[in-house]
Structure 1
Amino acid sequence: MTEKEKMINGELYEAFGEELLGERQYAKELIFDYNNLRPREVEKRNEIIRKLFSNTGNEFFIEPPFRCDYGYNISIGENFYSNYNCTILDCAKVTIGDNVLFAPNVSLFTAGHPIHFEPRNRGFEYAFPITIGNNVWVGGGVIINPDITIGDNVVIGSGSVVTKDIPSDCIAVGNPCKVIRQITEEDKQYYFKKLKIER
């Protein structure tokens, strides 16, 4: 089994073999071009993302700078928006649903290392998938760790570190991130605290 196959299968793998290093270098070249295009060159940026990712919706907008490891493990749904400084370590599958918003400095880490220093010093890594449902807003500075599923219609508060699955229809915040309440029909009336939506 190759190191890439081990990576995809959730087994321990070594990331600096020729195949995986070459694929990361290829992605970095594309991302370098992406991050250095002029702001008005939106369609050129989108062409690079379509080439890099395994799947995209028709409509998406990713503000540069953006970083990822491979790109081919990332799938985004319709109407995805990511603000500045998004980092996705996509050593395993990252699946993002429709109508998902990322605030600035959101990081998704599918990769990890053994806790004990001896296997870690031997260069071993592992990777497990991240799945984000539909209609999710991920606040600024959020970190999502490996092997996490976030349900539909969720808000993750700024600065949270997501270490466990988050169910649908809730607000979750903190380090570690925890559900603080369900989202209700009453929330439809307000845009910030008790300020009402009048239009």
Structure 2
Amino acid sequence: MDAQELYKDVGPGLEALEESRVRGKELAREFNALQPRDTPGRNRVLRELFGAVGNGVWVEPPLYVAYGAHTTVGDGVYANTGLTLVDDGPIRIGNGVMFAPHVTVATAGHPLHPAARPHGEQFSAPVVIEDDVWVGSHVSIMPGVRIGRGSVIAAGAVVTANVPPMVVAGGVPARVLREITDADRHWTYQAPSTLALPVGSEAPGA
């Protein structure tokens, strides 16, 4: 797993690994069943579930993990509902990271050719999300990716490559859309623009 080689995670000799995976899912299930007002209970389970967790962390259920123990979470992290952490390999989440609803962070993948995965063989590569990153809703972050400090990942993006610090990235696959500059410190709401019709087409009813 650590060498990014193909492996199987079930079988003789892997009982401890299987137990760790099952225990993570039990803790996630316990977390998801807690009452909304039970903040102490949530904090307790998160500290048992994750490999490390900082202060001021808030996770909205449901939360899904492969292991949980392979994920470390910094201070002041906020995760909205439906976060999925496929942490077969390490996931490191920095300070001040924000996740919108239904984000998937995946460290595991499989070879493309079926002959290379006859028994479900997989690989894992660590994912690093640096400090102050904001991840939009329904984003998928793929194995081995590092997202640089302060960057924003637009909703619906599929991140297959490293993202530099202080940029907005989006699309499928994600690409850098623009830099984040000091001008962005002065925030005002901007209403969405109207999509342009394709050249040569007419508006409905025209």
TM-score (norm 1): 0.91
Corresponding residue for residue 86 of structure 1? 83
Cα offset, 1:8, TM superposition: 2.9
- Spell out the pairing of 1:1-199 with structure 2 (5 A cutoff): 7-17=1-11, 18-193=15-190
Q: Give 3-state SS (helix, strand or coil) of 1:50's partner.
A: helix
Q: Give 3-state SS (helix, strand or coil) of 2:5's partner.
A: coil
Q: Give 3-state SS (helix, strand or coil) of 2:169's partner.
A: strand
Cα offset, 1:23, TM superposition: 1.6
Distance 1:185 1:192 in 2: 17
Distance 1:73 1:144 in 2: 16
Distance 1:16 1:39 in 2: 35
Stretch of structure 1 that moved more, 11-20 or 120-129: 11-20
Contact 1:8 1:91 in 2 (8 A): no
Q: Give 3-state SS (helix, strand or coil) of 1:95's partner.
A: strand
Q: Give 3-state SS (helix, strand or coil) of 1:39's partner.
A: coil
Task: Supply the AA of the counterpart residue of 2:10.
Answer: F
Cα offset, 1:12, TM superposition: 1.3
Larger Rg: 2
Taking only aligned residues, the RMSD between alpha carbons, in angstroms, comes to 1.4
Distance 1:172 1:191 in 2: 20
Q: Give the total of aligned pairs.
A: 189
Gap change, CA 1:163 and 1:25, over 3 Å in 2: same
Gaps of 5+ in 2: 192-206
**Identity rate of aligned residues, in percent?**
39
Contact 1:15 1:123 in 2 (8 A): no
Stretch of structure 1 that moved more, 24-33 or 134-143: 24-33
Distance 1:116 1:139 in 2: 31
Q: Give 3-state SS (helix, strand or coil) of 1:121's partner.
A: coil
Gaps of 5+ in 1: 1-6, 195-199
Contact 1:35 1:64 in 2 (8 A): yes
Q: Give 3-state SS (helix, strand or coil) of 1:146's partner.
A: coil
Stretch of structure 1 that moved more, 7-16 or 135-144: 7-16
Distance 2:28 2:181 in 1: 40
Contact 1:8 1:92 in 2 (8 A): yes
Distance 2:66 2:2 in 1: 13
Cα offset, 1:191, TM superposition: 4.2
Task: Supply the AA of the counterpart residue of 2:113.
Answer: H
